[in-house]
Amino acid sequence: MNRTVTIAPVRKSVVVNADPALAFEVFTSRIDMWWPKSHGIGRTPVTESIIEPAVGGRWYARCEDGTEVTNGHVIVWEPAKRVVFSWEITAQWKPASTALSEVEVRFVAEGPERTRVEVEHRHFERMGPTDGEKMRKGVDGGWPGLLALYAKAVERK
Protein backbone atom coordinates (compact mmCIF):
# COMPACT_ATOMS: atom_id res chain seq x y z
CA MET A 1 0.00 0.00 0.00
CA ASN A 2 1.38 3.41 -0.98
CA ARG A 3 1.11 6.10 1.59
CA THR A 4 1.06 9.78 0.69
CA VAL A 5 2.72 12.05 3.20
CA THR A 6 0.98 15.38 3.60
CA ILE A 7 3.07 18.34 4.71
CA ALA A 8 1.21 21.17 6.40
CA PRO A 9 0.91 24.41 4.45
CA VAL A 10 2.59 27.59 5.61
CA ARG A 11 0.08 30.35 6.39
CA LYS A 12 1.12 33.95 7.03
CA SER A 13 -0.73 37.25 6.86
CA VAL A 14 -0.26 40.97 7.15
CA VAL A 15 -2.72 43.87 7.35
CA VAL A 16 -2.00 46.85 5.12
CA ASN A 17 -3.53 50.32 4.91
CA ALA A 18 -4.93 50.05 1.40
CA ASP A 19 -8.07 48.80 -0.28
CA PRO A 20 -7.91 45.29 -1.80
CA ALA A 21 -7.40 46.61 -5.34
CA LEU A 22 -4.28 48.56 -4.38
CA ALA A 23 -3.01 45.75 -2.12
CA PHE A 24 -3.36 43.32 -5.04
CA GLU A 25 -1.67 45.72 -7.47
CA VAL A 26 1.36 46.24 -5.22
CA PHE A 27 1.70 42.50 -4.59
CA THR A 28 1.52 41.60 -8.29
CA SER A 29 2.17 44.45 -10.72
CA ARG A 30 4.61 46.21 -8.43
CA ILE A 31 6.42 43.12 -7.09
CA ASP A 32 9.72 44.62 -8.19
CA MET A 33 9.23 47.37 -5.57
CA TRP A 34 9.40 44.94 -2.69
CA TRP A 35 10.66 41.46 -3.69
CA PRO A 36 14.35 41.40 -2.64
CA LYS A 37 16.93 41.31 -5.42
CA SER A 38 18.81 38.84 -3.20
CA HIS A 39 15.98 36.29 -3.59
CA GLY A 40 16.87 35.15 -7.08
CA ILE A 41 17.50 31.62 -8.32
CA GLY A 42 19.48 32.53 -11.43
CA ARG A 43 23.23 32.41 -11.96
CA THR A 44 23.61 36.18 -11.61
CA PRO A 45 21.84 38.79 -9.44
CA VAL A 46 18.25 39.81 -10.15
CA THR A 47 17.64 43.18 -11.81
CA GLU A 48 13.84 42.97 -11.99
CA SER A 49 10.98 40.75 -10.74
CA ILE A 50 7.82 40.45 -12.85
CA ILE A 51 4.43 38.73 -12.62
CA GLU A 52 2.56 38.63 -15.94
CA PRO A 53 -1.06 39.62 -15.17
CA ALA A 54 -3.08 36.66 -16.49
CA VAL A 55 -3.67 32.96 -15.97
CA GLY A 56 -0.69 31.19 -17.50
CA GLY A 57 1.51 34.26 -17.07
CA ARG A 58 4.98 33.82 -15.69
CA TRP A 59 6.37 35.02 -12.40
CA TYR A 60 9.99 35.51 -13.33
CA ALA A 61 13.18 37.46 -12.76
CA ARG A 62 15.46 39.19 -15.20
CA CYS A 63 19.09 38.79 -14.21
CA GLU A 64 22.23 40.87 -14.73
CA ASP A 65 23.50 38.48 -17.41
CA GLY A 66 20.33 39.04 -19.48
CA THR A 67 18.72 35.69 -18.66
CA GLU A 68 15.17 35.27 -17.42
CA VAL A 69 14.50 32.72 -14.69
CA THR A 70 10.96 31.46 -14.11
CA ASN A 71 9.88 31.16 -10.48
CA GLY A 72 6.36 29.99 -11.33
CA HIS A 73 3.21 30.54 -13.36
CA VAL A 74 -0.10 32.21 -12.55
CA ILE A 75 -2.83 29.62 -11.92
CA VAL A 76 -5.61 31.98 -10.75
CA TRP A 77 -5.83 35.72 -11.45
CA GLU A 78 -8.70 37.49 -9.65
CA PRO A 79 -7.73 41.16 -9.23
CA ALA A 80 -8.45 42.58 -5.77
CA LYS A 81 -9.41 39.09 -4.52
CA ARG A 82 -6.68 36.50 -5.00
CA VAL A 83 -3.79 35.25 -7.04
CA VAL A 84 -2.42 31.71 -7.10
CA PHE A 85 0.89 30.82 -8.65
CA SER A 86 3.03 27.73 -8.92
CA TRP A 87 6.34 27.66 -7.10
CA GLU A 88 8.82 26.10 -9.52
CA ILE A 89 11.79 26.18 -7.16
CA THR A 90 13.54 23.19 -5.64
CA ALA A 91 14.49 22.76 -1.99
CA GLN A 92 18.04 23.59 -3.13
CA TRP A 93 16.75 26.98 -4.39
CA LYS A 94 17.21 26.11 -8.06
CA PRO A 95 14.70 26.52 -10.90
CA ALA A 96 12.49 23.49 -11.63
CA SER A 97 10.74 22.67 -14.89
CA THR A 98 7.45 21.80 -13.16
CA ALA A 99 5.33 23.12 -10.32
CA LEU A 100 6.63 21.80 -7.03
CA SER A 101 4.42 23.72 -4.62
CA GLU A 102 2.03 26.63 -4.94
CA VAL A 103 1.22 29.92 -3.31
CA GLU A 104 -2.23 31.45 -2.87
CA VAL A 105 -2.55 35.07 -1.83
CA ARG A 106 -5.96 36.36 -0.73
CA PHE A 107 -6.90 40.02 -0.26
CA VAL A 108 -9.63 40.42 2.37
CA ALA A 109 -11.13 43.85 3.08
CA GLU A 110 -11.15 44.77 6.75
CA GLY A 111 -12.47 48.29 6.18
CA PRO A 112 -12.51 50.93 3.44
CA GLU A 113 -8.73 51.32 3.43
CA ARG A 114 -7.52 48.18 5.23
CA THR A 115 -6.82 44.78 3.74
CA ARG A 116 -5.65 41.56 5.29
CA VAL A 117 -3.29 39.81 2.88
CA GLU A 118 -3.24 36.06 3.54
CA VAL A 119 -0.52 33.87 2.06
CA GLU A 120 -0.86 30.10 1.95
CA HIS A 121 2.14 28.21 0.57
CA ARG A 122 1.14 24.56 0.08
CA HIS A 123 1.68 21.18 -1.60
CA PHE A 124 5.21 20.67 -0.32
CA GLU A 125 4.62 16.90 -0.45
CA ARG A 126 4.99 17.13 -4.25
CA MET A 127 8.71 17.57 -3.60
CA GLY A 128 9.01 14.36 -1.61
CA PRO A 129 9.19 14.12 2.19
CA THR A 130 12.76 15.34 2.73
CA ASP A 131 12.82 18.18 0.20
CA GLY A 132 9.22 19.10 1.04
CA GLU A 133 10.03 19.55 4.73
CA LYS A 134 13.19 21.49 3.86
CA MET A 135 11.27 23.88 1.60
CA ARG A 136 8.45 24.25 4.11
CA LYS A 137 10.93 25.21 6.83
CA GLY A 138 12.64 27.69 4.52
CA VAL A 139 9.49 29.48 3.41
CA ASP A 140 7.98 29.39 6.91
CA GLY A 141 10.91 31.53 8.01
CA GLY A 142 10.98 33.57 4.82
CA TRP A 143 7.39 34.75 4.28
CA PRO A 144 7.25 37.01 7.37
CA GLY A 145 10.18 39.08 6.12
CA LEU A 146 8.79 39.21 2.60
CA LEU A 147 5.39 40.36 3.87
CA ALA A 148 7.07 43.06 5.97
CA LEU A 149 8.83 44.35 2.83
CA TYR A 150 5.54 44.18 0.93
CA ALA A 151 3.71 46.13 3.67
CA LYS A 152 6.37 48.89 3.51
CA ALA A 153 5.89 49.09 -0.26
CA VAL A 154 2.13 49.46 0.20
CA GLU A 155 2.72 52.34 2.62
CA ARG A 156 4.90 54.06 -0.02
CA LYS A 157 2.22 53.44 -2.70
C-alpha 12/C-alpha 94 separation (Å) is 23
- pLDDT at res. 3: 61
pLDDT at 99 exceeding the cut of 80: no
Cross-strand bridge partners of residue 105: 83, 119
- pLDDT at res. 68: 96
Q: 55-80, pLDDT tens digit by residue?
A: 999 999 999 999 999 999 999 999 99
Please state, in angstroms and as integers, the Cα–Cα distance from residue 112 to each residue in 44, 77, 94, 109, 115, following that order.
Answer: 42, 22, 40, 7, 8
C-alpha 80/C-alpha 21 separation (Å) is 4
Q: 21-34, pLDDT tens digit by residue?
A: 999 999 999 999 99
pLDDT at 131 exceeding the cut of 70: yes
Tell me the percentage of the chain whose pLDDT exceeds 70.
Answer: 97
SS (H, E, C) 3-41: CCCCCCCEEEEEEECCCHHHHHHHHHCCHHHHCCCCCCC
Q: For the chain, which domains are there?
A: 10-156 (3.30.530.20)
Q: Does residue 80 come out as left (phi exceeding 0), alpha (psi in the -120 to 50 range) or beta?
A: left
